[in-house]
Structure 1
Amino acid sequence: MNHTPKDDGTAMYVYNAKSAICEQIAEPVHFYIQLREVLEDLSLGIPLDFEDKYANLAQGSFAQSYTFTNTLEMEYHFRFTKNYFQFLLMNYLNSDPNVARCHCCGQYFIPKTRKSTLYCDRVMKDGKTCKEIAPAIIHKNAVDADPVLKVYDRTKHKMYKRYERAYYSLDQLPKGIYFEKYLEWREPAAEVRTKYLKGELTAEEALKIIEVKD
């Protein structure tokens, strides 16, 4: 790894090397979480703040080379995985993408037109897509009115903040959690949210899994 220190024979080498390795492993994970935040802002029509919120995504570095046979072929060389992901994201954003979040399953998608689209074409239940089953659950989609969706959004924010406390840290801070623990909550919670919206779980059953009270 580019930032792993050389072994100088001191007792501090292991600590410093471990810290550098943890940082390199954490970078792609942190990018993934930021990517989700970018998609959410895009889906809500919120201008992306590259001066503050996404400042670390706005700049990157890579080397460029080319070869010529019958055509000119360009190659890009990245030292860090995060720089490659940032490059892909910036190219994607440069195309002025149209991103929406399905009001049924909660996943992001690219609508076929620029018109406001509430539901995606993912197959969700009995071979039916979100667009087809949405009318039966549309009354549950108002987050301000639905207790399960309110708790889901509030808990997701809380768990993400706990992950941020442990980011780059070798020792877990008070109430800080590592990415694995964040996913252990997020993936089941997102699945439960979807099942609740589809009418497969009651509010009480959903809240038992989604809510984190400590």
Structure 2
Amino acid sequence: MAFTALHQDYMLYYLLTGTAIAPTKNGKADFEAIDKMELADKKEQLAAIDKLNPKGANIVSFTILQSLNEFLYFEFTELLKQGLRVRKCRNCGRYFVLKSKHETFYCDRTAENGLTCKAIGNKAEYLKKLAEDAPLLDYERIYKAHYAKMMRDEAKEMPADDKIGAARKAFTFWAETAKEARRQYVAGGISETEFAKRLELQ
């Protein structure tokens, strides 16, 4: 109702429709079969359709679209029928159809450096959240410090190619514990103090 109140011309819009007898495939008009007929005479077309479908003729409906405005109106009404929503991408500014109930503000179009708007947007939101949340900034800092220490210690150990050294095992154990603590903190399951304690374990 809000849309039609702003765009009252849509309330008076109409499209030309019709029905026709045609061969069908999987419930839709079989245009490939129609094109292969190459028959201009209507009687010959009906006879050919009869051969394709001996059980009887199929009646299909169609819509005549003669302009870009009519095409856009048709697409708009189809979206309404299917209950689909349209949203403006926060990255590229173009509109996209929400394909699921999952809330998203970014489309799947490829943007910078081969990344999708969704990937770019999710990273931007994560960095923004980091800047506003000191414990998460600490997590990033401590994680990088532990990783750098693991690389230094691993270089000293020089383990065999097919074996995992003590340094990497220790880092993997700490990282799994830290990631679980981060997940619980973001979900509101533990406090900032508890989160910090778990990060500094090991």
Q: What TM-score does the superposition give when structure 1 sets the normalisation length?
A: 0.35
Greater share of helix:
2
**Rg larger in structure:** 2
* RCO comparison, higher one (Cα < 8 Å, 6+): 1
Q: What TM-score does the superposition give when structure 2 sets the normalisation length?
A: 0.37
